[in-house]
Structure 1
Amino acid sequence: MRPKEEEPAATVAAPEPKRTRLDKFKEEWRKELLQELREGHWVVPDDEEEAPGQALRKQELLEELEQRKAIKDQCLHDKRELKEERQLGQEISDLEEGSAAFHKAKADIAETVRKLNKLHRG
């Protein structure tokens, strides 16, 4: 029997996860699919890294997304302000209606009092 060789403790790395048969099959299928796509004249990158054009396009889209989010936030802010103004306008309208009803009731009371006074004098 051969004695086991021990590695120094400082160089021992965390064990890599064991690749299963399924992982190996998936990798083979992926390679075959990419090869078939290349044979069909599809543009398939050789590796997983982004191409410079993809990185630039991604950056442009991220900037566009930020701009659109800012526009959306501004529209939401404007909508809330309009809603508050509408509520304030509704409250003022309700107050005016209440005030008008109060003045009408006050006038009706004054008219009734006038009629009562006229009845007592008459």
Structure 2
Amino acid sequence: MHEMSLAEGVLQIIEDAAHAQNFSRVRTVWLEIGQLAGVEVEAMRFCFDAVVRDSVAQDAKLEIIETPGQAWCLQCAETVQVQALYDTCPNCGSHQLQVTGGNEMRVKELDVE
């Protein structure tokens, strides 16, 4: 389950921010996860709750913003939405797609005190 290591990375980002910006508690974490990032949202929620125990983010609410997958079709020369890696172009059926978005995960915002 790689979500556990991802959750640990998110906690490290939060702790680094707490140290740099001198806050003591996180109330809400907004996490942006792309549809093509290969992250199971429910597993991420479970792992996040386990990892943040006894930290500045204990009891923090995790808000997940899912972003759609996007790719550039070399055949059509258009940006298209895709549901999974290695999908075909929904316009022309080409397999010549280059992913341009929706494959990332990032901490978007923190609500702190």
* TM-score bracket, shorter-length normalisation: under 0.3
By relative contact order (CA 8 Å, sep 6+), the higher-ranking structure is 2
Structure with higher helix content: 1
Larger Rg: 1
**When the two structures are superposed, what TM-score results if normalisation uses the length of structure 1?**
0.18
